[in-house]
Amino acid sequence: MPVERCEHTLDDGEDNLAFGSLRSRYHHQSDGYVDKHRSARLAARESYKVLEAMWRRPSPQQVARSIIPPLSASEFKALAEEWRRDTRHVSSITKKVMHPAYQRIMAMGEAALPLILQDLQATRSHWLWALHYITRKDPADPAANFHQAVDAWLRWGRENGLLSR
């Protein structure tokens, strides 16, 4: 049976690469041209479902969001106050950042940015680490001191629509 007789046009959305391997497998299992053709089309649909499921699989960020539910503004405020109270006399940034409340807020990812920036504007607390961790950016001048870096982040927040002007 010449293989080329089994060639057919894939339905919209069917994937040629995935279909190819499945088609070969079905060819070995069937004798007649019609059966093979049907088998091939069935295989194509199956492979498309697999690919579609893979494509729709949540991103790591989506998975994180489903495991770590987002915080409401009041929950954020309570955690921020807890963090400030417990670390108000701590001089070590590492110890401040490792506080569970700070970690919980960082785990919110990008959804936390407006809340963090509002709190930064109001309190000038040490949110630079969280902002850098979440955004992978650093808008401050390399030689900036803390307050200059805070001002740079607040500007960045306004420019990006995350903080009201």
Partner 1 sequence: MRGYAGVERMAYSADSHKEIEQDFPNIIGKYEITSDKDSGHNCIAFAVGDHQSFWDPAAAMRPIRGYYWPPGCGDDDAIKNLVKVFQIHGYEVCQSSDLEADFEKVAIFGDAVAYSHAARQLPSGKWSSKLGEGHDIEHDTLDALCGTGNAYGKVIHIMKRRRAASAPVDPKS
Enumerate binding residues for partner 1 (CB under 8 A). Answer: 86-95, 97, 123-126, 128-129, 132, 138, 140-142, 144-150, 152
Q: Using the minimum distance from each CB to partner 1, give the nearer residue, 115 or 130.
A: 130
Q: Using the minimum distance from each CB to partner 1, give the nearer residue, 53 or 143.
A: 143
Give the list of residues 6+ apart from residue 96 with CB closer than 8 angstroms, or none: 83, 87, 90, 102, 126, 129
Q: How far is the CB of 104 from partner 1 (least distance, A)?
A: 20
Distance of CA 81 to CAs 57, 85, 88, 99, 147, Å?
36, 6, 10, 12, 20
Residue 10 Ramachandran class (φ > 0 left, ψ -120 to 50 alpha, else beta): beta
Q: Using the minimum distance from each CB to partner 1, give the nearer residue, 47 or 125.
A: 125
Q: How far is the CB of 157 from partner 1 (least distance, A)?
A: 15
Q: How far is the CB of 153 from partner 1 (least distance, A)?
A: 9
